[in-house]
Amino acid sequence: MRRALRGGTPLSAALLVTIIALAPIFWMVATSFKPPGEYVSTSLRLWPRDPTLVHYRELFAEGFLARLWNSLVVTAGSTALAILAAFPAAYALARLRFPARLDAAFLLLVLIVKLLPPIVVAVPLFQILRGLGLLDSLPGLILAYQVYTLPFAIWMLLGFVREVPWELEEAAMLDGAGLPRRLLLIVAPVMRAGIAATAVFVAVLAWNEFLFALLFIQTPSRFTLPVWIATFITEDETFWGKLMGIGLLSSLPVMLVVGYLQRWLVTGFGGTGR
């Protein structure tokens, strides 16, 4: 009996937390099925009286899939670029001795960039992208997102590289493996959980990014989902149904990935705290 109670207290606490965490999301889902007449209400009723799919039909008719594709492209591109550039850098920082403590200097630079409020570099970045002919394009956005994603990836991967036992590499070296082979065949596979966790966090950053997408993309057909979401809040009217529908649709892919990888997400942080 006592054991049951002790098992029950954490459960009820966790249920309470879950309800608080999910209530606004439940409201989001419910509102996406509400006909416009039910938005403005002083009742506590959450579920719509008269559910409708009209908002979803309109979202698909107005080009949800094209924006979804844009977001997928930008997210996949920025994640891949960030991991590919960050992995060798993180390895070097963790494993190799730098002359004159340049590693500390580089880390400091990476961290300043990580701490950098993006608004600070928005105008110069605009000019750089224009110079490269990448303004108003998805590759341009992928490049610009490295301001957020690259420092994050370097910093996170750093901890994981340190956890790869040096003996493994030593053994490979005795077999005559050079650095590129060791990186690809020993270090990367051993820290795959860490790479996965990093990739997920980087992807979430890119998936939800708003400011740069707002400033650097002009053509509506190239909008990513967050910028498209903002177009449903107009000065005359907020399209709550569509807004919440797109909120749900745009969160589902991330939720699926995070749910699938949740074990790695937690272990992913294990190495970074030390």
Positions in 214-273 near another protein (CB under 8 A): 214-215, 218-221, 225-226, 229-231, 233-238, 240, 243-244, 246-247, 250-251, 254-255, 258-259, 262, 265-270, 272-273
Token representation of residue 152: 């994050």
How many whole angstroms separate alpha carbon 42 and alpha carbon 116?
42
Among 48, 68, 139, 172, binds another protein (CB under 8 A): 139
Is residue 126 a contact point for another protein (CB under 8 A)? yes
Nearest 5°: phi and psi at 210? -120, -50
Member of 1, 3, 42, 174 binding another protein (CB under 8 A): 42
Distance CA(67)–CA(231), nearest Å, equals: 12
| Tokens standing for residue 218 | 């002009």
Contacts with another protein by CB under 8 A: the residue count is 137
The region of 12-20, 49-57, 60-68 touching another protein under the rule CB under 8 A is: 12-20
**Binders in 72-111 for another protein, by CB under 8 A:** 73, 76-77, 79-81, 83-86, 88-89, 91-99, 103-104, 106-111
Would you give the DSSP letter of residue 98?
P
**d(Cα 139, Cα 211) in Å, to the nearest integer?**
16
Of 47-55, 57-65, 182-190, which segment contacts another protein by CB under 8 A? 182-190
- Does 40 sit near another protein (CB under 8 A)? yes
Asked if 206 touches another protein (CB under 8 A), the answer is: no
Q: Which amino acid is present at 67? A: R
Q: SS3 of 48, please?
A: coil
Tokens (6 digits) for 198: 């990093």
Cβ neighbours around 118 below 10 Å, total = 16
Q: Per CB under 8 A, does 128 bind another protein?
A: yes
Q: Which helix (H) or strand (E) holds 271?
A: none
Nearer to another protein, 164 or 225 (CB): 225
Minimum CB separation of residue 83 from another protein in Å reads 6
